[in-house]
Structure 1
Amino acid sequence: MEWLEVHIDTNHAGLEPLEIFLSANGVDGVVIDDEQDFQSFLENNHQYWDYVDEDLEASMKGKSRITFYLPADGDGFDQLAHLRTALQGFKDAHAGKYGTLLMTLENLKDADWENNWKQYYKPMEIGERLLVIPEWEQENVKGQAKYAGKVPLILEPGLTFGTGSHATTRLCLTALEEAVHGGETVLDLGCGSGILSIAALRLGAASAKAVDIDDKCLTVAYENAALNGIGKDRYTVLVGDVLSNGALRETLGGGYDVVVANIVADVIIGLAPMVRQFLKPGGLFLCSGIIDTRAGEVADALRQNGWEIETTRSGEGWYSYACR
């Protein structure tokens, strides 16, 4: 089925009146892009972000836009014609108060939304043993001699999570490959798609627990585990904030051989005083997601909390530390 993607440009003050106008004219589901809200989100959630892509910031510059979708059929075009007429009346009534109110549109197909993004993800060798395989690439990998002897890690991340291509994930996977030799217990803090904890299990860890503040991770991580033949007898995923939830920390327990956290600098600094409660004596703390401009700050926080940094890895402007 084909769809019409319709954009209406406005200003920040016009977003709410325009949304009400659209709802009154039969458009109930909209997407709002707004620079002011974007900047407010970054400021109010700075602990989760050390780096914001410059292209993303540039794309939001001066933007206040509402987007919605109509079927590209007779009914959809009829509704579009009605909206054009009604929008002109809305524009005349408010005389420039809400920006240009310019309407533009594109044609889209379901297949574009559902599948085109997959073309950018291919099998990827990491370290000496791991081969990360997007689920839809499994058939292309079979029988290829160059992948012989590799430990396959199959992922179906959906549009929400990546497949390990980011430098921070690769740094962690390389460290895990060195740390896991068989029989270990692993805790993954900020698990996302589950890639790190599932990789540890594929490399030979006996069991793993994973936790994330995003409840979407619960479904995605379990689905990825199942793709790799890993059941809930070896793998547990929980939802919550380890930094603020004492009951969650109790549930996670202790005695792990390895704790891994691929998050951001502020969260790792917050974790530095508490991670030992999860580890067995002499256990390993692997942390990544540290942008280069804050690597020294994180290293200082780790050392101030008694951690010895055994190995430092870096790549593409990001750092990871292996600590005991």
Structure 2
Amino acid sequence: MLKRAGEEACRAAAARGAAPVPHMALLLAGGDGTRLRDLTREVAGRPIPKQYCRLLRGSSLLEATLARARRFSTRADIRVVINHDHLELAREQLRDLPEDSIFIQPHNLDTGPGLLFSLLQIERSTPDAVVAAFPTDHYVEDDGAFIRYVRRAAAAIARMPDRIAVLGAAPDRPETGYGYILPAGAAGMGEGIFNVEAFTEKPDLPAAGAIIARGGVWNTFVMVFRLSRMMELLARFAPEGFGPMLALRDAPEKAADIYASLRAWNFSTHFLARIPRHLLVVEVTGVGWSDWGTRESIERTYRTLKLVPFWNRSRAVSRQAAG
């Protein structure tokens, strides 16, 4: 039903003589991955940000996210934000993308500046875009099913363009390292799409359990939104982070100087948690999603797949040889 609604919106736009709204994928690859440096040193031979590390054997998390995003957007409509000091790693893994598709921020200041830095660049060329934001440190077992949920979110935004749609994964345990979304009533757009009562970032264990007991879901940080609406909401609800970055609109070449005066801020804590009534949550099940923010979460996924992490196998072989 939602897919049909999106198609009807495109047909209506064409009938009015308007071009269909471009759907862009934004890959968020600006994190430093400091918590996993010991693991990435084992795997890559040097400590590198986790999104560039081949924790999947065949591909890195960034490469896997890029392949996933290509199911949603065309190659021409994919953008990636990275840090300047990751440029060498990123170029090798993003060689199939045009250079102007890669946004290079001076350094990492958490998710708020990284996301806004990217949106300001997209705004210059495509201010009417619908954007799907994808973190690049997540594992997804079933990409096809996951992207169907992203498309449902995009169709929901076509009908309710004043909202931000966030994918929420069904939890199987209390987890203090994740954000939580508490759904409210159904949004009237089909099964599994809800208004939002509350957004809580990284609660303690008792609070996480209580949220789950009330039907709460994990925040995947995969979001779909109209760019113009996102900018309006940021200006209204996160002015302390939004305002200082507006200098980039007029002087993008001065990004390094502008960044030197900025403070780090977290997009979930300082923005999403403030705007629950402006959110929709699309509940995601059966896709094998996991945030690979810690070694424990990565090795839990391997256990679920009944696999032994290849770095643990290598260590076991080394111990046997030494013995």
Shorter-chain TM-score above 0.5: no
- Return the structure number with greater helix share: 2
**Higher strand residue share:** 1
Provide the TM-score with structure 2 as the length reference: 0.29
Q: TM-score, normalised by structure 1?
A: 0.29
- Whichever of the two has the greater Rg, that structure is 1
